């Protein structure tokens, strides 16, 4: 049996990506400084994306590995059967397909939790 403890919501607005992964498009990132309070095994259990141009999609990555695709990002909500796992030091990315010059800066809100009954979380003081 799992005992989930909420860690609260995190919010981020897109920035114009000039890197190699999504150059010229909007990107949202949740790096360790934004995620904070991550125990050895935390989860993203709910996501809301909005604000992008209608028809925009997004690829969801944990560091360099693709986790999922969001088919519509003008407004969408994700409440998965399988929560997105995160470990300390990881960064969560949303790579939007829309150009960063379209005037529609997307934003993302995520909700985090951890399972108090996972031994690694107990040993870390969770």
Residue 91 domain-assigned?
yes
The structural domain count of the chain equals 1
3 state DSSP class of 30: strand
Residue 126 domain-assigned?
no
Residue 88 domain-assigned?
yes
What pLDDT is attached to residue 49?
A: 95
The CATH number for 10's domain is 2.60.120
Show the domain range for 73.
Answer: 4-121
Residue 85 domain-assigned?
yes
Low-confidence ranges of the chain (pLDDT < 50): none
Residue 103 CB partners (closer than 8 Å, separation 6+): none
Residue 117 domain-assigned?
yes
Q: Which residues of 15-27 are buried (b: 16+ CB within 10 A; e: fewer)?
A: eebeeeebeebbb
The gap between the terminal CA atoms of the chain, to the nearest Å, is 16
């Amino acid at each position: 049996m799992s005992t989930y403890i909420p860690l609260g919501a995190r919010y981020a607005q897109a920035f114009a990506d000039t890197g190699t992964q999504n150059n010229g498009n909007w990107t949202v990132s949740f790096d360790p400084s934004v995620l904070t309070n991550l125990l050895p095994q935390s989860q993203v259990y709910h996501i809301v994306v909005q604000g992008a141009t209608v028809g925009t999609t997004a690829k969801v990555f944990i560091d360099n590995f693709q986790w999922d695709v969001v088919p519509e990002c003008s407004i969408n909500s994700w409440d998965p059967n399988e929560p997105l796992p995160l470990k300390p030091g990881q960064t969560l990315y949303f790579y939007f397909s829309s150009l960063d010059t379209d005037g529609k800066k997307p934003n993302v809100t995520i909700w985090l939790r951890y399972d108090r009954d996972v031994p690694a979380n107990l040993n870390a003081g969770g």
